[in-house]
């Protein structure tokens, strides 16, 4: 018995030494990150939080507070930083072409679209590090169909990356509650209310729907449209809080950050604090527990119909988690999962690590799924043409319908990406067309510098990442069909 206790104590000691060593190595390694800039350290004190929700309980109050946040941003960043911090392609340089204020509208802010006599209302929630800009193309679809749209800026977003050091998932949920109540109040009770969420916003939308089933003060959406919902994060996100053991020391201040990168994107942060990963992990955990509770209480059947658009390969969220943690636990209610496959052209396969077949095979071979599956994939290994393979709810594995789409994979594109899904190819900032004389946009979708390796301070995979969805028109048609069902 004594030997066993000694063995356990020794093992715990050795394990502690190993963990401490890993922490110290990673902490010292973080000191090699680029220097932190004012936008990594300045705090905007006016930002909305859950604790302010008792005083900020209407959209007008929220927008007034948001205005104060941007005034604070202007005073503490744009009018305060010296010439040595003024970079040509920095969103925080006043005369830069990527300064958000130089665009026709600063899409980092909450925006509304209000057609006359709206036939329904939509709340749109953007993703982590994003801004309402990512909702623009989707918002246009609903506006053209006669819907009132509210694209809400989530706390900590659209300003400076430091905002994500302090924002919590409960702050985002409080903002979502406010937005949902506002949208429901903007349209007649008999008219439909939809919720649209992208990435982390998709997770917030799912959490909101479940909360609305348990809280009669929250209006329940009639339908949800989700894009790359964050229902599962990588294994390493579980350790996103470990930096707190040392990052409070000024010497290890950079240990708070996973990435410190130039902020050349006007509507999305490039730098990423570990605290943001922690909040996403906490949010997904809360969702998993709540789904299990709904399953046990047999209330899962009350969830509104959901349509999810998701890339088969996704470096930000785990695609399989959408099935494992949500869709597989649903009951039939017009739910559908739309997957964008990788490009299976034979010449492209040479460069892929694997064929990413497991999830597709499992879905297509499974019987009596409580949701429909639609797969956009190559017509053949020798064709860039894309077809749709659809499996209906509760169908058998042999009941798969194939239909022509007259769509094609663009040349030199091997897959979609997490950041591409909500953006049309017509997007002037991220689309494939590039800048022209009719607009003053700098195009980040075609930004691909060439030179020697290991020279750039931006990861090459970030520059290669597809920023637009070549199949957005198909997604638009599907959304319009849903609206008009």
Q: What are phi and psi of 94, to 5 degrees?
A: -55, -40
φ/ψ (deg, to 5) at 311: -75, 135
Tokens of residue 367, six digits: 């019987």
Where residue 225 falls among pLDDT bands split at 50, 70, 90? very high
Domain tally for the chain? 1
Which residue has better confidence, 405 or 355? Answer: 405
Q: Which residue has the tokens 């026709």?
A: 104
- Contact between 228 and 310 under an 8 Å Cβ cutoff? The reply is yes
According to DSSP, residue 91 is labeled T
d(CA 264, CA 348): 30
Place of tokens 């819907």: 147
- Whether residue 353 lies inside any domain: the answer is yes
Average pLDDT over residues 121-125: 98
Q: What is the pLDDT of residue 386?
A: 95
8 in a structural domain: no
| Among 16-30, 268-282, 425-439, the least confident range | 16-30
So what's the pLDDT on residue 157? 98
- Looking at the predicted structure, is the pLDDT value of residue 199 above 70? yes
d(CA 279, CA 287): 12
Q: How much is the average pLDDT of 321-325?
A: 94
* pLDDT of 86 over the 90 cut: no
Domain that includes residue 411, residue range: 19-483
Size of the chain, expressed as the number of residues it contains? 485
Q: Is the confidence at residue 266, as pLDDT, over 80?
A: yes
Which of 130-134, 173-177, 244-248, 418-422 is predicted least confidently?
244-248
Inside any domain, residue 2:
no
* Cβ atoms within 10 Å of 297's Cβ, excluding its own: 11
Two tokens at 297?
């209480």
The pLDDT of residue 18: 66
φ, ψ for residue 436 (rounded to 5)?
-145, 180
CA 195/CA 176 separation, integer angstroms? 10
Give the model's pLDDT for residue 12: 65
Is residue 13 in some structural domain?
Answer: no
Q: Which two tokens stand for residue 182?
A: 């506002």
Whether 310 shows a pLDDT value over 70: the answer reads yes
**What pLDDT is recorded for position 24?**
66
**Position of tokens 């931006």?**
458
pLDDT digits (tens, 9 = 90+) for 393-443: 987 766 789 999 999 999 889 999 999 999 999 998 899 875 554 556 678
pLDDT of residue 239: 59
pLDDT above 70: residue 203 = yes
Torsion of CA 44, 49, 55, 58, to 10 degrees: 100
Q: Which residue in 258, 204, 264 sits closest to 228, CA to CA?
A: 204
**% of the chain surpassing 90 pLDDT:** 65
* 303: phi then psi, degrees, rounded to nearest 5: -65, 135
Which helix (H) or strand (E) segment holds residue 157: the answer is none
Judged against a pLDDT cut of 90, whether residue 224 lies above it is answered with yes
| pLDDT exceeds cutoff 80 at 384 | yes
| Spatial contact of 130 and 190, defined as CB atoms under 8 Å apart | no
Give the count of alpha carbons within 13 A of 447, CB side only. Answer: 20
Instruction: Indicate the pTM of the whole model.
Output: 0.93
Whether residue 364 lies inside any domain: the answer is yes
Q: What DSSP state is assigned to residue 286?
A: H
Instruction: Dump strand ranges (E) for 76-210.
Output: 111-113, 121-125, 148-152, 193-198
CATH of the domain at 342: 3.40.50.1820
Tell whether 319 is covered by a domain: yes
Residue 14 belongs to a domain: no
Which pLDDT belongs to residue 436?
55
pLDDT of residue 242: 67
Decide: 269 and 263 in contact? Cβ < 8 Å.
yes
Q: State the pLDDT at residue 456.
A: 76
Average pLDDT across the chain, whole number: 88
In a domain, 4, yes or no: no
Kindly tell me if the per-residue pLDDT of 390 is higher than 60.
yes
């Amino acid at each position: 018995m004594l030997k066993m206790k000694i063995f356990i104590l020794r093992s715990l000691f050795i394990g502690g030494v190993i963990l401490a060593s890993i922490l110290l190595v990673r902490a010292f390694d973080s000191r090699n990150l680029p220097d932190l800039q004012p936008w990594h350290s300045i705090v905007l004190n006016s930002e909305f939080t859950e604790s302010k929700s008792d005083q900020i309980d209407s959209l007008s109050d929220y927008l007034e507070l948001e205005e104060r946040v941007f005034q604070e941003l202007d005073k503490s960043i744009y009018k305060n930083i010296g010439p040595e911090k003024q970079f040509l392609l920095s969103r925080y340089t006043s005369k830069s072409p990527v300064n958000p204020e130089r665009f026709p509208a600063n899409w980092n802010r909450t925006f509304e679209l209000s057609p006359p006599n709206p036939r329904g209302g939509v709340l749109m929630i953007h993703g982590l590090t994003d801004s309402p800009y990512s909702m623009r193309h989707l918002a246009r679809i609903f506006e053209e169909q006669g819907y009132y749209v509210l694209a809400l800026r989530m706390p900590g977003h659209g300003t400076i990356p430091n905002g994500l050091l302090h924002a919590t998932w409960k702050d985002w949920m409080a903002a979502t509650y406010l937005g949902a109540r506002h949208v429901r109040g903007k349209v007649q009770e008999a008219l439909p209310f939809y919720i649209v969420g992208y990435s982390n916003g998709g997770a917030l939308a799912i959490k909101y729907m479940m909360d609305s089933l348990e809280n009669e003060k929250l209006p329940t959406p009639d339908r949800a449209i989700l894009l790359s919902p964050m229902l599962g994060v990588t294994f390493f996100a579980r350790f996103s809080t470990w930096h707190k053991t040392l990052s409070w020391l000024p010497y290890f201040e950079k240990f708070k950050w996973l990435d410190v990168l130039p902020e050349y994107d006007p509507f999305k942060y490039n730098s990423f604090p570990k605290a943001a990963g922690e909040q996403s992990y906490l949010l997904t955990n809360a969702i998993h527990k709540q789904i299990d509770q709904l399953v046990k209480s047999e209330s899962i059947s009350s969830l509104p119909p959901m349509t999810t658009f998701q890339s088969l390969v996704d470096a930000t969220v785990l695609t399989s988690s959408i099935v494992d943690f949500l869709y597989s636990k649903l009951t039939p209610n017009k739910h559908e999962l739309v997957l964008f496959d990788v490009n299976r052209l034979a010449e492209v396969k040479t460069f892929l690590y694997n064929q990413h077949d497991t999830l597709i095979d499992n879905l297509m071979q499974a019987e009596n799924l409580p949701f429909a599956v639609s797969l956009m994939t190559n017509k053949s290994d020798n064709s860039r043409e894309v077809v749709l393979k659809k499996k209906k709810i509760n169908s058998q594995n042999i009941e798969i319908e194939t239909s022509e789409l007259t769509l094609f994979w663009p040349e030199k594109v091997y897959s979609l990406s997490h950041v591409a899904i909500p953006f049309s190819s017509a997007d002037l900032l991220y689309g494939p067309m590039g800048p022209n004389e009719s607009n003053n946009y700098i195009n980040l979708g075609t930004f691909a510098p060439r030179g020697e390796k290991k020279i750039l301070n931006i990861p090459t995979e970030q520059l290669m990442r597809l920023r637009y969805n070549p199949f957005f028109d198909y997604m638009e048609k599907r959304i319009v069909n849903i609206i008009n069902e």
